[in-house]
Amino acid sequence: MPRSRMEMAINIIEIYEGIIDAVWPDYATLLQCALTCHRWLPRSRYNLFRRPTLGSMEQLHLFFQALRYTPVLSGPYSADVVEKLTLVAVSGVWPTFKYSACALLAGRLPYLKELHIGRPYLWRHLDYDRSQLDLSPRMAVHIGTFPTLKHLALSNVEITSFMALARVIVALPNLSVLGICGVFWKRPGQMAHNFPFVRRGWLKLEDVTVVGRWSLMPGISSIFSAANPQTMKALVVNSDASDTEDSTLGVVDCSHPVGSRINVRTIHALLNNLPPALHLHRFVVDFTYAQYDSRQLILNSVAAMGAIVRDPPDCLYHLEICVSDWDETASWWRAEIVSLFSIAVRARGLLQVVVTLPHAECEFKVLLRRLNRMPG
């Protein structure tokens, strides 16, 4: 039976839209697709503006001008298709670039869902690769103008205090995913007793990731006490997690020193100080950010972690252990890692061992390639 013209037209649209989608993130090619014909413009514009990465003031102003002056012709406005915004200041860029970006774009991205600020957390370059982030009260106001923002990720940035971060979190009532990776603040900061952040169970987070040097993030564990146990389903922490200076909020109070092995006492205290009604579905312990001298130290640390989750709760359906393949041998001792966990964990099929490439090379190179493809 011959197809109707309507069916053939729909098939043609699906074909060229699929081709345009596959081109992303090659922005130069997407721009050529947008200029090819009138029919290709809406889908090309959607991919050009959906997940932009800005790394300089020049790129920021070009992006802003495109949002304001790009003709609509057909399809939604350019600002309406922006779902994820990444602000990555490369070396030599004006220090207040991230603040300027949030101030300039405040209220102009009505459907923004994800905001990522900072470069990937590379622990080997932590001392000189971190950038400043101005989280002043006005910055919290600017970020709060994105009403649909659900995912906030800060990576490898330095802020003044935990109070500054708390203000931003409070300004986002719909926040459900929070990522704190390699963040550092100069002082703990004091919170008033009536400040909303100190209330237990008010924060409706679903997914929390806190990795980095916890000794540089005093008070960070208060996020777990503020989280609503009915909504929080996923938790990612690094293997040497400990909050040793939480004198302000006192969620986890343990002075056990952090070394190259997993800090069993503080991890255990962290888990015990989570809300009692919490029912995690996904729990990830990341060993890729800690420094280990040998494979045996990693295995000892994983064994300590296995002892903590010997009897996993019924609600837990995903337990993930992340390790780095520094010496290109991790793939064959994956089975050895699995054997360190109890029969109960293995029988239920909860455990997944993820072997990643070292952060210091692959992630940063991929990011730089993406930045180089940006127009301007």
Three-class DSSP category at 176: coil
The residue to which tokens 């060229």 are assigned: 16
- Region of poorest pLDDT, from 33-37, 78-82, 189-193: 189-193
**Measured between alpha carbons, how far is residue 163 from residues 218, 219, 288 in Å?**
11, 9, 28
Q: How confident is the model at residue 214 (pLDDT cuts 50, 70, 90)?
A: confident
Asked whether residue 151 carries a pLDDT value surpassing 90, the answer given is yes
pLDDT digits (tens, 9 = 90+) for 81-101: 899 999 986 655 556 788 888
pLDDT tens-place string over residues 254-306: 333 333 344 444 554 555 555 555 677 888 888 776 655 567 777 777 887 77
Q: What is the dihedral of CA 32, 37, 42, 46, to 10 degrees?
A: -10
Residue in this structure with the two tokens 């010997």, named with its chain if needed? 310
pTM of the full structure: 0.77
Higher local confidence (pLDDT), 130 or 115 = 115
Higher pLDDT, 149 or 332: 149
- Averaged confidence pLDDT in the chain: 72
Q: What is the pLDDT of residues 217-259, one digit of tens each?
A: 877 777 877 888 788 888 888 766 665 544 333 333 333 333 3
Instruction: Walk me through the domains of the chain, giving residue ranges and CATH numbers.
Output: 1-50 (no CATH), 51-372 (3.80.10)
82, 110 Cβ separation under 8 angstroms:
no
- Closest of 310, 300, 319 to residue 342, by C-alpha: 310
For residues 142 and 251, what is the distance between their CA atoms, to the nearest angstrom? 30
Secondary structure of residue 266 in the 3-state scheme: helix
The pLDDT value recorded for residue 367 is 43
